[in-house]
């Protein structure tokens, strides 16, 4: 049933796709105001001065400290084995937060403190990591670095006040290749203290499952094939734990749609076709200007927030959201417009006031931290994925100075995809293969294409030992992890 509906991508054309996607990404990035900055770069003085200018450009981008308003929002759930209907009337055995896939959406407002009493009712240890949230170090959910794994039957209380509003998500950081694939993930939405009056605020968590004919999870994890390629790509993509769901909306509605990629490895590139979709945030953080989301990749870990206005006198009543990352496109979900009177939401400007430096002059300061991405034979799985020549078991931490300007470089020497994620900080992409790009937003995860070099600018505001790793779960499992120590 499922196999006829959604084609399984073959490994050969994935490689081809990766190359053409690089060209697209490069073509997308260029921007007029970079030229002005380039002129300034030529006139600029010592590196010291450049660094100071870069820092002043950064100032006010996001806060250093949380501002708790004294309100505590309590949640309580367990991670438990459960069965869910990915397909109608077919039960798939999963592991799930609160027995649901996705887990419960945790919604709080900026200033509120989240407190979760979490119980592990799984047959193996686990933790929860809050992807993208600048949490206190002890709340980051990294086993052996920020906390001990939570043993089966034990509980742990996560408590923090987010510093930045936006779209985040949570997932285990123990045996991620198995635990995420089995269904452990959920959304954390931190609303602005006064959210914009969208008629609807939707969260779509995209996932990709490798299921067998009987709709059960193929339970061999971290296979040689997964490791030597781009991780575990499945045959059944889902939106909010459903295969090709239909979402009914009203004419005239203005929707904030928050997309999250929770897949182990699959990259999504959603196409909203005739629906006018405007990008307003990426990886949680509001952009400095609205952007065209066409061609934007959502690698594992990435989020993309869209502002979508449903036509009030639609010509058609059905819109298909199609994924175009793989050569063979497929439908992710369908939006249908109800045959009712249009609703007229309150008018307001597209949210886009965030301060995001252009930072073109980052290229004037030397690279002070590098992550060379490659593999070697050996280790538990026969292949080890490496950062700077070392797997996690032998890793050497990178060091960044608190509140200082850094130019960090990812060098992908391999022929595979690596969505690189750094905990505890946001960074901005400055160049891809030496070509300036001006993304109007921060990131916590960037997809580094085969043989690509990406320079990013970062000013770490949160001290601690932060994990950095490839978000393809199988690559991380096979060693592609290290620590960034901010002191
Ligand atoms: Cu990788």
Q: Is 304 helix (H, G, I), strand (E, B) or coil?
A: strand
CA of 471 to the centre of ligand 1 (A): 6
CA of 481 to the centre of ligand 1 (A): 10
pLDDT of 283 reads 97
CA of 230 to the centre of ligand 1 (A): 7
CA of 128 to the centre of ligand 1 (A): 21
CA of 472 to the centre of ligand 1 (A): 5
Q: How far apart are CA 335 and CA 349, in angstroms?
A: 24
**Tokens, residue 392:** 């996690």
Q: How far apart are CA 297 and CA 290, in angstroms?
A: 17
CA of 411 to the centre of ligand 1 (A): 12
pLDDT of 46 reads 54
CA of 170 to the centre of ligand 1 (A): 20
pLDDT of 42 reads 46
* 22 C-beta neighbours (distance < 10 Å), count: 18
- 348 touches 256 (CB < 8 A): no
pLDDT of 309 reads 93
pLDDT of 271 reads 95
Q: How far apart are CA 332 and CA 261, in angstroms?
A: 12
Residue indicated by tokens 């290749």: 177
CA of 376 to the centre of ligand 1 (A): 13
CA of 393 to the centre of ligand 1 (A): 16
pLDDT of 350 reads 82
Burial 358-371 (b: 16+ CB within 10 A, else e): bbbbbbbbeeebeb
| Residue 158 dihedral angles phi and psi, to the nearest 5° | -95, 130
- Non-local (6+) Cβ contacts of 394 within 8 A are none
Q: Is 405 helix (H, G, I), strand (E, B) or coil?
A: coil
Longest C-alpha distance within the chain, in Å?
Answer: 68
pLDDT of 23 reads 30
CA of 437 to the centre of ligand 1 (A): 22
**Tokens, residue 354:** 């965030």
- The residues facing 171 across adjacent strands are 129
pLDDT of 16 reads 30
pLDDT of 475 reads 98
**Tokens, residue 327:** 């050569």
Reported in sequence order, the residue ranges of 150-282 that DSSP labels E, i.e. its strands, are: 155-160, 166-171, 186-191, 200-209, 236-239, 246-249, 254-261, 270-271, 277-282
**Tokens, residue 128:** 């929860």
Residue indicated by tokens 């909203």: 272
CA of 213 to the centre of ligand 1 (A): 28
CA of 110 to the centre of ligand 1 (A): 33
- Non-local (6+) Cβ contacts of 381 within 8 A are 222, 224, 227, 477, 478
Sheet holding 72-87, edge to edge: 90-97, 72-87, 113-120, 155-160
Q: Would you report the helix, strand and coil content of the chain in percent, each value rounded to 5?
A: 15, 40, 45
Burial of 175 (C-beta count, 10 Å sphere; 0-12/13-18/19+): buried
CA of 417 to the centre of ligand 1 (A): 6
pLDDT of 30 reads 27
CA of 374 to the centre of ligand 1 (A): 9
- 387 touches 395 (CB < 8 A): yes
Query: Could you list the pLDDT tens digit for every one of the 487 residues in the chain?
Result: 333 334 343 333 333 333 333 333 333 332 222 233 334 444 544 556 899 999 999 999 999 999 999 999 999 999 999 999 999 999 999 999 999 999 999 999 999 999 999 999 999 999 999 999 999 999 999 999 999 999 999 999 999 999 999 999 999 999 999 999 999 999 999 999 889 999 999 999 999 999 999 999 999 999 999 999 999 999 999 999 999 999 999 999 999 999 999 999 999 999 997 898 999 999 999 999 999 999 899 999 999 999 999 998 878 889 999 999 999 999 999 999 999 999 988 889 887 767 899 998 989 999 999 999 999 999 999 999 999 999 999 999 999 999 999 999 999 999 999 999 999 999 999 999 999 998 999 999 999 999 999 999 999 999 999 999 999 999 999 999 999 999 9
- 173 touches 129 (CB < 8 A): yes
- 459 touches 405 (CB < 8 A): yes
pLDDT of 355 reads 87
Q: How far apart are CA 350 and CA 309, in angstroms?
A: 11
Q: How far apart are CA 239 and CA 9, in angstroms?
A: 18
Residue indicated by tokens 């020549």: 389
CA of 416 to the centre of ligand 1 (A): 7
CA of 444 to the centre of ligand 1 (A): 15
pLDDT of 413 reads 98
- Residue 152 backbone class (left: φ over 0; alpha: ψ -120 to 50; beta: rest): beta
CA of 405 to the centre of ligand 1 (A): 26
pLDDT of 296 reads 92
CA of 168 to the centre of ligand 1 (A): 21
**Pure H helices in 344-482:** 473-477
Intra-chain end-to-end CA distance of the chain, in Å: 54
Q: DSSP characters for 327-354?
A: SS-EEEEEEEE-SSPPP-PPP-PPS---
Domains within the chain, CATH numbers bracketed: 1-17+198-353 (2.60.40.420), 31-60+356-486 (2.60.40.420), 66-195 (2.60.40.420)
pLDDT of 373 reads 98
CA of 477 to the centre of ligand 1 (A): 10
pTM: 0.90
């Amino acid at each position: 049933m499922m196999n006829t509906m959604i084609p399984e991508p073959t490994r050969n054309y994935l490689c081809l796709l990766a190359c053409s996607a690089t060209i697209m990404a490069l073509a997308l990035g260029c921007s007029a105001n970079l030229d002005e900055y380039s002129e300034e770069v030529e006139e600029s003085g010592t590196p010291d001065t450049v660094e100071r200018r870069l820092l002043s450009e950064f100032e006010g981008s996001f806060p250093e400290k949380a501002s708790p308003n004294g309100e505590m929002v309590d949640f309580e759930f367990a991670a438990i084995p459960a069965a869910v209907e990915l397909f109608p009337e077919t039960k798939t055995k999963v592991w799930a937060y609160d027995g649901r896939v996705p887990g419960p959406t945790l919604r709080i407002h900026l200033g509120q403190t989240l407190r979760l009493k979490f119980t592990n009712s799984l047959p193996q240890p686990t933790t929860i990591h809050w992807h993208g949230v600048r949490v206190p170090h002890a709340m980051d959910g990294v086993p052996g670095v920020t906390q001990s794994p939570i043993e089966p039957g034990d509980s742990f209380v996560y408590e923090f006040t987010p510093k930045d509003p936006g779209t985040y998500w949570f997932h285990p950081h123990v045996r991620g290749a198995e635990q995420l694939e089995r269904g452990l993930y959920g959304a954390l939405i931190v609303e602005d203290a006064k959210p914009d009056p969208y008629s609807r605020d939707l969260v779509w968590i995209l996932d990709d499952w490798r299921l067998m004919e009987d709709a059960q999870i193929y339970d061999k994890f971290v296979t040689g094939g997964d490791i030597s390629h781009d991780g575990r790509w499945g045959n059944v993509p889902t939106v909010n734990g459903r295969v090709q769901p239909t979402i009914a909306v009203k004419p005239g509605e203005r929707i904030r749609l928050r997309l999250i990629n929770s897949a182990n490895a699959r990259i999504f590139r959603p196409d909203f076709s005739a629906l006018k979709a405007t990008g307003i945030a990426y990886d949680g953080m509001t952009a400095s200007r609205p952007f065209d989301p066409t061609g934007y990749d959502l690698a594992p870990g990435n989020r993309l927030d869209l502002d979508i206005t449903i036509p009030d006198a639609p010509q058609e009543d059905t819109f298909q959201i199609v994924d175009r990352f793989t050569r063979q496109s497929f439908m992710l979900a369908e939006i249908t417009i109800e045959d009712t009177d249009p609703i007229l939401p309150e008018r307001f400007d597209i949210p886009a006031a965030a301060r995001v430096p252009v930072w073109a002059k980052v290229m004037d300061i030397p690279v002070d931290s590098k992550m060379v991405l490659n593999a070697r034979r050996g280790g538990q799985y026969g292949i080890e994925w490496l950062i700077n020549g070392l797997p996690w078991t032998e890793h050497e931490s990178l060091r960044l100075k608190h509140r200082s300007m850094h130019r960090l470089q990812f060098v992908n020497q391999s022929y595979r995809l690596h969505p690189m994620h750094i905990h505890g900080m946001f960074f901005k992409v400055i160049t891809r293969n030496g070509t300036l790009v001006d993304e109007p937003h921060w990131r916590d995860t960037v997809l580094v294409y085969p043989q690509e070099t990406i320079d990013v600018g970062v000013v770490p505001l949160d001290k601690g030992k932060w994990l950095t790793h490839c978000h393809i779960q199988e690559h991380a499992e096979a060693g592609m992890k290290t620590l960034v120590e901010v002191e």
